[in-house]
Amino acid sequence: MSRVARRGLGLTLLALLALAACARVRPLTGGPPDTTPPQLLVVTPIDSSTWIPLVPEIRIVFSEKVNPGLVRRGLRTYPDLDIERLSVKGAVVRVRFADTLASDTTLVVVLGRSIKDLPGRDNALAAEIWLLYSTGPALRSGAILGRVLLKGRPEGKGVVLYEPLEPDSARVSGDSAAPRRVRVRYPLAATDDDGLYRLLGIPPERPFLMRAFVDRNGNLQLDEG
Total tally of structural domains belonging to the chain? 1
Residue 155 maps to a domain? yes
Residue 192 maps to a domain? yes
Residue 6 maps to a domain? no
Q: 4: part of which helix (H) or strand (E)?
A: helix 3-22
Residue 123 maps to a domain? yes
Residue 8 maps to a domain? no
User: Is residue 116 classed as helix, strand or coil in its secondary structure?
Assistant: strand
Residue of 81, 109, 73 lying closest to 217 (CA atoms)? 73
Please state, in angstroms and rounded to a whole number, the distance separating the CA atoms of residues 138 and 143: 15
Q: What is the CATH number of the domain that holds 58?
A: 2.60.40.3710
Question: What pLDDT sits at residue 141?
Answer: 87
Domain housing 168: 40-214
User: Is residue 218 classed as helix, strand or coil in its secondary structure?
Assistant: coil
Question: What pLDDT sits at residue 9?
Answer: 45
Question: What pLDDT sits at residue 147?
Answer: 97
Task: Quote helix, strand, coil % in the chain, to nearest 5.
Answer: 10, 35, 50
Residue 25 maps to a domain? no
Residue 183 maps to a domain? yes
Question: What pLDDT sits at residue 33?
Answer: 84
Please tell me the total number of residues recorded for the chain in this structure: 225
* Residue numbers of the chain with a pLDDT score lower than 50: 4-5, 8-11, 13-21, 170-182
Question: What pLDDT sits at residue 17?
Answer: 43
Please state, in angstroms and rounded to a whole number, the distance separating the CA atoms of residues 165 and 156: 28
